[in-house]
């Protein structure tokens, strides 16, 4: 399984796994980015960490995002990817209530995940 496959599968899995726990705060338009550190068994290695504000007031969204992640953890669907643990040990999730997420899962910020993957790619000698 290639790194791009792992990236896509882990991202898809996390989006689907967190969606049922996400309660969008009313009247919010901020965006929150939350970093999670995972153990190999898919459990949280620590509390979700809210990254610097993307918009002026991410507080309610960030709190709701951290609650959703904590409520839905652990993520046992990651265990099949244990051989690629270095690719999903740290993941940054983006919560954007301004987007209508009622009929679609929340997004993993692919650019952030791509940056994470980049440092694990083998450089040509």
Instruction: From first to last of the 125 residues of the chain, give the pLDDT tens digit.
Output: 678 788 788 878 897 899 999 888 888 777 888 899 999 999 999 999 988 665 555 478 888 999 999 999 999 999 888 999 998 999 888 887 765 544 444 555 555 555 555 544 444 44
Residue 75 sits in a domain of what CATH number?
Answer: 3.30.1150.10
The whole-model pTM stands at 0.72
Residues 87 and 120: beta-carbon distance below 8 Å: yes
Which pLDDT value is given to residue 9?
A: 86
Which pLDDT value is given to residue 68?
A: 94
In a domain, 124, yes or no: no
Interior angle at CA 56, CA 53 and CA 59, nearest 5: 65
Instruction: Provide the number of structural domains found in the chain.
Output: 1
**Where in the sequence is the domain holding 29, given as residue range(s)?**
3-117
């Amino acid at each position: 399984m290639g790194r791009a496959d792992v990236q896509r599968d882990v991202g898809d899995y996390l989006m689907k796994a967190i969606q049922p726990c996400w309660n969008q705060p009313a009247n919010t338009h901020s965006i929150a980015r939350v970093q999670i550190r995972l153990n190999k068994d898919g459990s949280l290695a620590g509390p979700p960490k809210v990254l610097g504000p993307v918009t002026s007031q991410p507080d309610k969204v960030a709190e709701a995002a951290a609650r959703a992640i904590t409520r839905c953890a652990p993520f046992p669907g990651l265990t099949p990817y244990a051989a690629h643990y270095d690719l999903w040990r740290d993941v940054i999730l983006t919560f954007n209530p301004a987007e209508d997420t009622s009929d679609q899962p929340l997004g993993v910020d692919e650019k952030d995940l791509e940056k994470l993957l980049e440092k694990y790619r083998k450089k040509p000698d």
